[in-house]
Copies of this chain bind each other. A is one copy, B any other.
Amino acid sequence: MDGLLREPIKSLRPENLPPEIRSEIRYQNLATGETLFHRDDPATAIYVVESGRIRLDSYTPEGRFVTFQIARPMESFAVMSLFERLYEANATSEVPSRVIVYPKQVLLDALIKHPELAQELMQQLVKHIYALKMRLELREIRAARDRVLYYLKTIAQFSGIVINFDRPLKMVALDLGLTPEAFYRTLAQLERKGSISRSHRQITLHETSVA
Binding site for B on A (CB under 8 A): 58, 60-62, 64-66, 68, 79-80, 82-84, 88-89, 111-113, 115-116, 118-119, 121-123, 125-126, 128-130, 132-133, 135-137, 139-142, 146, 150, 177
Contact = CB atoms under 8 A, between A and B. Distances in A.
Contacts of A133: 58, 68, 88-89, 132
User: A-side binding surface: helix, strand, loop or mixed?
Assistant: helix
26 contacts: A60-B137, A60-B140, A60-B141, A62-B141, A64-B140, A64-B142, A66-B137, A68-B136, A79-B126, A80-B129, A82-B126, A83-B122, A88-B133, A111-B115, A111-B118, A111-B122, A112-B116, A113-B115, A115-B118, A118-B118, A121-B122, A122-B125, A125-B126, A125-B129, A129-B129, A132-B136
A61 B151 CA distance: 12
